[in-house]
Amino acid sequence: MKYVKMLSLATVAAAALMAVVGASTASASVLCKTKPVANGAGTANATCPEGWAYPVGTEIHGVLDPEQHFTLTDGEGNKTLTCKQSTVKGKTTNEGNSTETVNGVIETLTFERCTSPFLGETACTITTIKGGTLELHWMGDTFNGTLTSDGAEVTTTCSSIFGSIHCIFTTVKTDIGVLTGGNPATLDIENARISQSPTNSLCPAEAKWDAKYEITEPKPLYLANET
């Protein structure tokens, strides 16, 4: 009997642990055409009203804030690259719901008017090889979400006294930044750590990406927890 009682307690404990793990890993998000309705204090359990969720295939288009620069910084704080223009464009591959996050693919990622302050403002080029995929996670008690990038691959090429410096940067489920809901919404990228694939000894092993994009499509755009 004592053994059975201990086994029962162990089963209950295991079930409780699984519930906690499940609760901590569960995620959900919905892109909403209007400000979500709060089902609790503040914006807790933000709900997108019925019929107001953006459908699968929605195009998300962002342009670099004209007051900001796209910047890559090495591990020592040196600005290795800056660009005055950048565009990102993709499409959602699902609508999202109370148990599923919104996913999408990046179709366009461009960088223009780029230079290397570290190399004396030498002109550089950044080319996107793969746009990769994105995932938007709703942030509790807000109408915002975090953006994760996976499988993106960009190459940078700069001329120097050492010859052409070619670097390759990739994302692997990388936490890029925060999408702040609004009209328009904005994407703030701050100290996003991008890994560098082995190419040139002069390339940093890791770079930090900083930028701010205005979401020009769709407008308005908010993140909700469910519909």
Q: What is the pTM of this model?
A: 0.81
Paired with 160 in beta bridges are 163
Provide the pLDDT for residue 108: 95
Q: Is the pLDDT of residue 9 over 90?
A: no
The three-state DSSP-derived secondary structure of the chain is: CHHHHHHHHHHHHHHHHHHHHHHHHCCCCEEECCCCECCCCCCCCCECCCCCECCCCCEEEEEECCCCCEEEECCCCCEEEEEEEEEEEEEECCCCCCCCCEEEEEEEEEEEEEEEHHHCCEEEEEEEEECCEEEEEECCCCCCEEEEEECCEEEEEEEECCEEEEEEEECCCEEEEEEECECCCEEEEEEEEEEEECCCCCCCCEEEEEEEEEEEECCCEEEECEC
Q: Is the pLDDT of residue 26 over 90?
A: no
Provide the pLDDT for residue 128: 95
Poorest-pLDDT segment among 40-54, 155-169, 187-201: 40-54
Span 199-216, mean pLDDT?
Answer: 87
Provide the pLDDT for residue 77: 84
CB 211 within 8 A of CB 71: yes
Poorest-pLDDT segment among 3-12, 112-121, 127-136, 217-226: 3-12
Provide the pLDDT for residue 187: 95
Span 182-195, mean pLDDT?
Answer: 92
Q: Is the pLDDT of residue 7 over 70?
A: no
Span 24-32, mean pLDDT?
Answer: 70
The proportion of the chain whose per-residue pLDDT surpasses 70, expressed as a percent, equals 85
Span 38-56, mean pLDDT?
Answer: 80
Provide the pLDDT for residue 1: 38
pLDDT: which is higher, 123 or 7: 123
Poorest-pLDDT segment among 22-31, 72-81, 123-132: 22-31
Residue 223 and residue 225: Cα distance in Å, rounded?
7
Architecture in CATH for domain 28-224:
Beta Barrel (2.40)
Q: Is the pLDDT of residue 10 over 50?
A: no
Return the number of other C-beta atoms located less than 10 Å from residue 6's C-beta: 10
Q: Is the pLDDT of residue 210 over 80?
A: yes
Mean pLDDT of the residues in the chain:
84
Q: Is the pLDDT of residue 61 over 80?
A: yes
Q: Where are the domains of the chain?
A: 28-224
Kindly indicate the confidence band of residue 4, based on its pLDDT and cuts at 50, 70 and 90.
Answer: very low
Tokens 């909700």: give the residue.
224
